[in-house]
Structure 1
Amino acid sequence: MLLINFLCWLLIVVDVDAVHRGVGLEICTQARCKPDGPAIRFPFQLKGKQSIHCGYHGFDLSCTNDNEIVLKMPASSDNLFVERIDYTSQEIEIYYRSNHPPREFFDLSLSSSPLQFMPGPHNYNYTLFSCPYLEERLSYGFCLIKLGPYHLDNPENQTYAVNAQCSVDRIPLVSCTKLHDYTSIPDISTFAMKKIMKLHWSKPSCRHCEEMGKACRSKISEYSLAHVQTAESECLDLPKGII
């Protein structure tokens, strides 16, 4: 009887210890969309090839039919393509194929996104307007920039970004509706030419793991957006292909 009680107590202790130490948290294999493409590992998660527990919400990636990496923003009608991921500096480069910068870039400035614009001297405040299409609005360059499509349910209207450094009174905004103010956005007039943008993430932090040549994962099993800013990470002595 004493032996049975002891064994039951031991099982309870082991079970509780496993929960607190994170034993049983999923260990995920590193993935790629193509052999020479960027490696995808924690905190990113590749849809269709990795479990949703392999990364955080907001770091969701997928592969196109051409094996390119896509970062899909919520409620977006356009794809953002991933050029490079640097896990040591915690930076990611994305680009867009349209002739006009996409509106979803502005949503990255919101606090709800774990991926943020890099701070810099050429960041500006912008106001977005929805306007009926007019040819004369296309000649205001730095001050008024046409954006790529965002909501397909109203194709008659165009979305424009107005730089806060410009005088709104001198820009043709007749019949336009103000949508939202955004702060500290990189110069999108430059982006319209080179079509590449650099973002960074501060949480979760895995720099120390990368610098030691170790893999990184979260200490908890909750991978929702609400846990990104509070979760702690841990380093694992595993082969580079495992996270």
Structure 2
Amino acid sequence: MFSSHQLFFFFFLIFFSVIHISTSVNTCPISCHATGLGPVIRFPFRRNDQPFPCGYPGFELSCNNRSQTILNLPKLGNFTVQNINYKSQTIWINDPDYCLPKRFRSFSLSDTPFSVENLMEFTFYNCSSVGNTVTDVPGSRMVSCMSGDKFTVVAVPTYWSNVSGQGIPGSCSVIDTVVIPFFWPSWSGLEQGVPLKWDDPDCMSCEERGGTCGFENDNTPIWSVGCANLPGSGLPRSAKYGIVIGVAIPGLLSFIGIACYLCGRVRNYYHRRSRHSGTEFMSTIMPQSMIILIGLDTSTIESYPKTLLGESGRLPKPSDNTCSICLCEYQPKEILRTIPECNHYFHVSCIDEWLRLNATCPMCRNSPEGSAAVTPSTSTSSSSSSLL
């Protein structure tokens, strides 16, 4: 059965589990800035110091010493995160030095969960700024962060630079031809960055309904994503857990108490039953020849000789100077009684009371003459005779 310490430990463990569930769910949304500025990091993203169930694999973010949110893209390096739109599943990234064209000269999103909607091939030119109007080239875009005092870097769509009559000045030399996101050449403002999209995990429907997207089971090896805490769908999961456990614990304690009570009743019943059966068994196997002795009658006891001690207090047996029943020494003028068969002395009051209950000498355990002996066979025959 459960002890009180075990029950207390069981209750404490369940209570701690409920608190842990509520805490782990509420601490996943986080920000790199102490005041909460900047994009909120939540599923499928997680900060690299958060527990694994907070985010989906490949969506790890970090914080730099300027409290900026950082996304690391393999083959491209670190980018600052300016905004995350969870409903459209779009993340806006930028170069920490605000020079995206330079970073996109080796643009590749392989080994990442992200993609771009449109890509375009551009050719970068290094042109001398003396006597040239490079920006007059149709479709060209000046890259100021890559330009210097005596040269200008421009990017021109490759297909446009190959159109007849749209040549590039001879003072311009090709730097590189790369494929970059189509959004960037619109030059709506490099400070806005470039949007990247993700398709898996798909949380758009959950976000649009105002729910919380996350793993259905933190311990499952399959990345199963579900939607929880939908408006109007009832209590949050942690609250439901608390209610269920709050009802289950008193019910369990009541069940254990009733079980202990019933077990005690059953145990007492079988204990009495076994004791009664043992008594019957002993009476059944008792040898028929066993003699049961009972005490002596008053006349027999009175027939035993008495002795009055004199002033000297001497006895026929000097060693018998103490009553073996009350363990007191004999005093002058006391009356003693002797059992004739063994000549042992005792106080009269002590030995008379003893012999009424026992038919044996307290010292040698011999049975004096005149004691009554009853055997089971005698009792049985007497009963049979009376019945006749």
Please classify the TM superposition score into its range, dividing by the shorter chain length.
0.5 to 0.7
Which of 134-143 and 64-73 deviates more?
A: 134-143
Tell me the residue number matched to 2:41. Answer: 40
- From the superposition, tell whether residues 96 and 110 of structure 1 become closer, same or farther in structure 2 (CA, over 3 Å): closer
Q: Following the alignment from structure 1 to structure 2, what is the Cα–Cα distance between the partners of residues 159 and 232?
A: 48
Q: What's the TM-score, normalizing by structure 1?
A: 0.57
Tell me the residue number matched to 2:330. Answer: none
Q: Following the alignment from structure 2 to structure 1, what is the Cα–Cα distance between the partners of residues 106 and 188?
A: 16
Aligned residue for 1:166, secondary structure, equals helix
Higher strand share: 1
Tell me the residue number matched to 1:116. Answer: 115
Tell me the residue number matched to 1:100. Answer: 99
Structure number with greater Rg is 2
What amino acid sits opposite 2:88 in the alignment? S
Within 5 A, what are the aligned runs for 1:6-155?
A: 29-34=28-33, 35-47=36-48, 49-52=49-52, 54-76=54-76, 79-96=78-95, 98=97, 100-105=99-104, 110=109, 112-117=111-116, 119=117, 125-127=120-122, 135-136=128-129, 139-140=134-135, 142-143=139-140, 146=143
Aligned residue for 1:234, secondary structure, equals strand
Q: Give the drift of 1:209.
A: 2.5
What amino acid sits opposite 1:69 in the alignment? T
Please point out which of 201, 208, 212 is paired with 1:211. Answer: 208
Q: Following the alignment from structure 1 to structure 2, what is the Cα–Cα distance between the partners of residues 76 and 138?
A: 33
Q: Following the alignment from structure 1 to structure 2, what is the Cα–Cα distance between the partners of residues 138 and 51?
A: 55
Tell me the residue number matched to 1:202. Answer: 199
Q: Following the alignment from structure 1 to structure 2, what is the Cα–Cα distance between the partners of residues 37 and 104?
A: 23
Q: Give the drift of 1:190.
A: 0.3
Greater relative contact order structure (CA < 8 Å, 6+ sep): 1
Aligned residue for 2:73, secondary structure, equals coil
Tell me the residue number matched to 1:233. Answer: 225
- From the superposition, tell whether residues 108 and 176 of structure 1 become closer, same or farther in structure 2 (CA, over 3 Å): closer
Kindly tell me the number of residue pairs found equivalent between the two proteins: 191
Contact 1:216 1:233 in 2 (8 A): yes
What is the aligned-residue RMSD (CA, Å)?
4.3
- Alpha-carbon displacement from aligned partner over 1:73-119 (angstroms, at most 9, x marks no partner): 22435x422222121221222334545324445777646432233x4
What amino acid sits opposite 2:65 in the alignment? N
Tell me the residue number matched to 2:160. Answer: 166
Contact 1:191 1:197 in 2 (8 A): no
For structure 2, the residue ranges without an aligned partner over 5 or more in a row are: 1-23, 147-151, 230-235, 239-388
Percent identity between the two aligned chains: 27
Aligned residue for 1:170, secondary structure, equals coil
Q: Give the drift of 1:163.
A: 1.2
Higher helix share: 2
